[in-house]
Chain A
Amino acid sequence: MKKIVYAFMATVTGLVLLFSYRTSTAPESTSALADAPSSGVATVPKTTPTPSASASSGSPSSGSTSSGSTSAQTSSSGLTDGTFTGQAANTRFGPVQVQITVSGGAITDVQVPQYPSESGRDQQINSRALPVLVKETVQAQSAEVDMVSGATYTSTGYRTSLQSALDQARA
């Protein structure tokens, strides 16, 4: 378990650093995959108010903020309890920031508290920028999708595919 936690610590560091410094390599379709428990609706993660989360979530142009923590209790896992906020990374859609919460030596929450909000289009993009892993699978019809991605179907396989059903509805 300890080894695993260290591995994830490295991942967390990597995540924060990458979000901090990835600028020119920012993908055009900035998106992340996030959980939406028992629902197919994309939701922005809830924001946990902490002292370090004062990173001007409403003003994207304010630039980067440095990381900080709320307490300094280091557990046996090597992770210090508290909330840590990465620097805001400038993406094509504006600054994006990552925040993690460590409690009892384990990461208990990961959030992306800052979203660009300057233009209407940016807002549109970002409200949609978190792809949703459907934990409890839903029928395509009820998910109201425009298209379906899946392993390549043959012409025959297409006939019974979800994509085919969508196409017939829109022919």
Chain B
Amino acid sequence: MTGAFTVVEPVMGTVASITVIGERTPRVERAIVACVARLRDDERVFSTYRDDSDISRLRDEGLELGDVDPRVAEVAAYCRDLRERSGGRFDAHWRGWFDPTGYVKGWSTDAATRAFDELLADGEVEAVGVNVGGDMRLRTAPTSDHGWRIGIAHPTHEGELLATVEVVDGAVATSGTSERGAHLVDPRTGVHLAGPVSATVVADDLTTADAWATVAAIAGIDDVDWMPVAPVASGIVWEHGRTRRFAGRVEVSAFHDVVAG
């Protein structure tokens, strides 16, 4: 049985919890440092709370995408695509300027987790999970059968779980109103979601999971029209005590409603 340890670092206004299944060697330590450094550097570029971030300068100084860090153009391209595919349920331009908050964290976590690529490939660590503020990328070495058991926090019952999900190699993201009050805005109307609403999505990577969890939360429990086009594995939408679940791009909880009715 190999060891497991967790390193906690403040980043992006929240906390990153990095759990390593493996020994704490100098090489592993270096990978953790590189992972956190990438998250912080992406924060420097994308933070809307910093006047000197590339995102803020793009907004305030009338710069073009070509004038700022190339990562901004990369994320902007993803966001345009997501806006189209989600039917406007996600829109980084809804305020009239480019604000990819709600997208960057997942994207950045995927990029940061690549610091462990070599360690996983040669089996020096068995598995690595990077949880940034409740959204996580989970990696498992090809030689390992480690599975991650993920709890999905109940949106209104603090300290309790709504569901659990097992992931070997993938990502889990949750968007909703529960933790910080109503901070989700429907870009189509500019209206803050009253909630409580919570959407959890499981996908191959966190860029995808985070983006579509946001879409699912914005859409709310009565709108699942986005589901057939979402490149995700499965998920749960919860609103006012009702749940809907889906897998393989179709709803599964509907069956149980039929049984119950």
Contact = CB atoms under 8 A, between A and B. Distances in A.
Q: A and B, one complex? A: yes
A4 B250 CA distance: 16
A33 B6 contact: no
A42 interface: yes
Interface in B56-110: 105
Interface in A125-171: 125, 128-134, 137-140, 143-155, 157-158, 160-164, 166-167, 170-171
Given A27-B204, A149-B152, A170 B231 contact: no
Contacts of B242: none
Contacts, number: 247
Given A151-B177, A151-B178, A28 B204 contact: yes
A58 interface: no
A40 interface: yes
Given A33-B247, A153-B15, A146 B234 contact: no
Given A147-B19, A152-B133, A170-B19, A106 B169 contact: no
Dominant secondary structure of chain A at its interface with chain B: mixed
Dominant secondary structure of chain B at its interface with chain A: strand
A122 to B, nearest CB: 10
B113 interface: no
Given A140-B151, A151-B155, A151-B180, A145 B161 contact: yes
A158 B8 CA distance: 11
Given A40-B164, A133-B245, A148-B153, 17 more contacts: A11-B250, A33-B234, A33-B247, A107-B258, A128-B166, A143-B151, A143-B161, A145-B151, A146-B129, A149-B131, A151-B178, A153-B14, A153-B179, A158-B15, A158-B133, A161-B153, A167-B19
26 contacts: A1-B261, A4-B257, A28-B170, A32-B247, A33-B165, A33-B247, A33-B252, A108-B259, A120-B145, A124-B147, A125-B147, A139-B159, A139-B161, A143-B161, A143-B164, A146-B150, A147-B172, A148-B161, A149-B152, A150-B174, A152-B14, A155-B15, A158-B15, A162-B153, A167-B6, A167-B19
Interface of A: 1, 4-5, 7-8, 11-12, 14-15, 18-19, 22, 25, 27-35, 40, 42, 100, 106-110, 120-121, 124-125, 128-134, 137-140, 143-155, 157-158, 160-164, 166-167, 170-171
Interface of B: 4-6, 8, 10, 13-15, 17, 19, 105, 129, 131, 133-136, 138, 145, 147-155, 157-180, 198, 200, 202-204, 231-236, 243, 245-259, 261
